[in-house]
């Protein structure tokens, strides 16, 4: 009887120790922003391409009618450079955004890959078509909410 009880207790403890942990494979750490003009959200009618730096990888390719952007941030750099190119039928304009940030390692389980969360510390641009950028949420993590409001120059300028 004692052996049976010991076997049952050890089996229960063994099963309790084995945990099936659901890794966040579908969660994405990205920086979200929305375009504004004259204090209203707008969609860009022209084609928008975003690259990481002047000759870096393409993060968004030829999006039309875009009102929001969603870009990944680098893992270990303290400042990311985003080049936004807007191409219309008769115009081509580029603006560069620099995002200064800190990086925090996010650990969930030994079974899951490590991800990095970020805290935006500052944002600046070259002001070619971007008037100003407001940080509305500095924490960049799994939440899919806006981190920045990107204000374009007024349509009457």
Query: Does the structure show a pLDDT above 70 at 2?
Result: no
> Which three-class secondary structure state does DSSP give residue 12?
helix
How far is it, in rounded angstroms, from Cα 93 to Cα 35? 16
How far is it, in rounded angstroms, from Cα 96 to Cα 83? 4
Query: Does the structure show a pLDDT above 50 at 16?
Result: no
Whether 104 is covered by a domain: the verdict is yes
Q: In the numeric block, which tokens belong to residue 140?
A: 């960049």
How far is it, in rounded angstroms, from Cα 24 to Cα 112? 8
Does an H or E element contain 86, and which? strand 79-87
Whether 16 is covered by a domain: the verdict is no
Question: What is each CA distance from 79 to 30, 75, 147, 150, in whole angstroms?
Answer: 15, 10, 16, 18
Whether 37 is covered by a domain: the verdict is yes
The whole-number pLDDT of residue 128 equals 94
Query: Which residue range(s) make up the domain with 33?
Result: 26-152
Number of domain units in the chain = 1
**In the structure, what pLDDT confidence band is assigned to residue 152 with cuts at 50, 70 and 90?**
very high
Query: Does the structure show a pLDDT above 80 at 14?
Result: no
Whether 65 is covered by a domain: the verdict is yes
The whole-number pLDDT of residue 41 equals 95
The whole-number pLDDT of residue 64 equals 92
Per residue in 25-79, pLDDT tens?
667 888 999 999 998 999 998 999 999 987 789 999 999 999 999 999 988 889 9
The whole-number pLDDT of residue 11 equals 60
Show the beta-strand stretches assigned E in 6-57: 31-37, 40-41, 44-52
pTM more than 0.85: no
Query: Does the structure show a pLDDT above 90 at 6?
Result: no
Whether 130 is covered by a domain: the verdict is yes
Per residue in 98-148, pLDDT tens?
999 999 988 877 777 778 899 999 999 999 999 999 999 999 998 889 999
**In the structure, what pLDDT confidence band is assigned to residue 94 with cuts at 50, 70 and 90?**
very high
The whole-number pLDDT of residue 40 equals 93
Whether 127 is covered by a domain: the verdict is yes
Whether 17 is covered by a domain: the verdict is no
Whether 93 is covered by a domain: the verdict is yes
């Amino acid at each position: 009887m004692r052996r049976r009880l010991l076997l049952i207790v050890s089996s229960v403890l063994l099963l309790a120790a084995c945990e099936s942990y659901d890794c966040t494979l579908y969660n994405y750490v990205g920086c979200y922003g929305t375009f504004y003009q004259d204090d209203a959200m707008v969609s860009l009618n022209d084609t928008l391409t975003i690259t990481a730096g002047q000759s870096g990888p393409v993060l968004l390719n030829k999006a039309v009618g875009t009102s929001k952007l969603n870009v990944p941030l680098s893992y270990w750099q303290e400042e990311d450079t985003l080049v936004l190119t807007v191409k219309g039928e008769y115009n081509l304009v580029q603006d560069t955004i620099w995002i200064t940030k800190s990086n925090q390692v996010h650990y969930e389980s030994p079974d899951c890959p490590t991800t990095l969360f970020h805290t935006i510390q500052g944002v600046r641009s070259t002001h070619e078509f971007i008037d100003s950028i407001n940080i509305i949420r500095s924490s960049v993590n799994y939440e899919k909410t806006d981190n920045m409001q990107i204000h374009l120059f007024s349509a009457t300028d």
